[in-house]
Amino acid sequence: MSRRRRATETTGGSDEREARFLSVPLAHFELVDESARLRAEQEFAEGDRNGRTLAKVGAFRLVLVAFRSGARFDERDQRGSVALQVLEGRVAVSVDGETVEIGVAEIAVVAPDYPWTAVALADGVLLIHLAWPPEPGSTTT
């Protein structure tokens, strides 16, 4: 039996990005192409990073971020789990006084309720996997 679900949420789009669906039954991304697009946008040209949410399904998010050396990521409201996967470059991830450096093909996982900080040690690309607990009263499992 085939179960078909419609795409539900879309991005707003911009002058540089087309609007697209975030929640679909099956999504496919060419990360090299997506990274190149991020680096070509004004946000990256004028700042130290640029990101794009690739998927948003229930309590799960997948975000791709192109960054410059020195970019800093701080997460103080860490209700869910996060995995930081380095596709290019090198990042120092700190949690509760402990720091690890991760590079290409490495991943750091942060447990819920632990605020974290990441600092880019070199230009690169990070794939961030986020999973939050369901909101009270939510039907998401």
SS3 at position 38: helix
Listed by start position, the domains of the chain span: 31-131
- Residue 1 is encoded by which pair of tokens? 């039996």
List of E strands, 2-137: 49-57, 60-67, 72-75, 81-95, 98-103, 106-110, 116-131
**Given this model, what pLDDT does residue 2 score?**
43
Radius of gyration of the chain (CA): 16
Provide CB contacts within 8 A for 55, sequence distance 6+. Answer: 22, 23, 27, 61, 62
Mean pLDDT of 102-109: 98
**Given this model, what pLDDT does residue 106 score?**
98
**Given this model, what pLDDT does residue 14 score?**
65
CATH top class, domain 31-131: mainly beta
- Read off the pLDDT of residues 52-66 as tens digits, 9 standing for 90 and up: 999 988 889 999 999
Handedness of CA 136, 131, 18, 70 (dihedral sign): positive
- Read off the pLDDT of residues 6-46 as tens digits, 9 standing for 90 and up: 545 666 666 776 777 778 889 999 999 999 999 999 999 99
pLDDT band with cut points at 50, 70 and 90 for residue 125: very high
